[in-house]
Structure 1
Amino acid sequence: MTAQEALTAAREFLARVYPKAPPTIVLRPDWVREHDWAWEVVFDSQEHLDSGDFAQALFTRVVVVPKNGHRVDFMPTVFDVEMQQYYLATGRRTRFEAEH
């Protein structure tokens, strides 16, 4: 899977979640990052970008696009940065999951 394919998958996912504007979803190729297990696709709302008003920002602004074709979804919001990196590298939500 390429970065462009990940961006397209994230765009299609977000179009289903936010079918009508506002919010107006903004995705940019330079906001896509590759990890071992998945692509991390950051997005924002045009309303937030235009105003700078955090109240116009969406609650979560990261979509995870697994490279293996599994379901595209939002990054779990309960994860700290270390867990986000672990999840993107392995596809596992906890280190416990790897042990069992």
Structure 2
Amino acid sequence: MLTRDEAVAAAAAYLQTQAYPDRPESVVMLPDTAVEFPYGWTVCFDFKEHIETGDPTQAPFSPVMVAPHDGTAAHFAPTFPPTEEYMRLRASGEWPPRRLTT
């Protein structure tokens, strides 16, 4: 099980090395937003440019990261379903959705 600090660090590492390697200094983690679920932690981030200017065009499109308790790589939460539902589906094994065959 990850601690809050480990989850924030895992999300930051992913953002700075995988998602935004061209601007790692712009990533600002918001550890006070971290929420623990049975599947893992969610934690939000922002960009320094958005914080400094308030310009919505400088904000991340999807600011929620997921750090699974099992140690697999941190990843973006999907924009749908809502984060709480996604975390419930992951914990129950119902995500990813199964494809229907015809």
For normalisation by structure 2, the TM-score amounts to 0.79
- Note the C-alpha offset of 1:90: 4.0
Residues 10-47 of structure 1 show CA distances to partners (whole Å, capped at 9, x for unaligned) of: 01100112112277010032121111211001000011
Structure-2 residue corresponding to 1:59: 61
Q: Output the CA distance in 2 between the equivalents of 1:60 and 1:6.
A: 17
Root mean square deviation, CA, Å:
1.9
Q: Which runs of 4 or more aligned residues in structure 1 lie more than 6 Å from their structure 2 counterparts after TM superposition?
A: none
Structure-2 residue corresponding to 1:44: 46
- Note the C-alpha offset of 1:59: 1.0
Cα pair 2:10 2:74 within 8 Å, conserved: yes
Q: Which runs of 5+ in 2 are unaligned?
A: none
Q: Output the CA distance in 2 between the equivalents of 1:80 and 1:87.
A: 6
Q: Output the CA distance in 1 between the equivalents of 2:64 and 2:87.
A: 11
1:16-95 equivalences under 5 Å are 16=17, 17-21=19-23, 24-77=26-79, 79-81=80-82, 84-91=83-90, 92-93=94-95
Q: Which runs of 5+ in 1 are unaligned?
A: none
For normalisation by structure 1, the TM-score amounts to 0.80
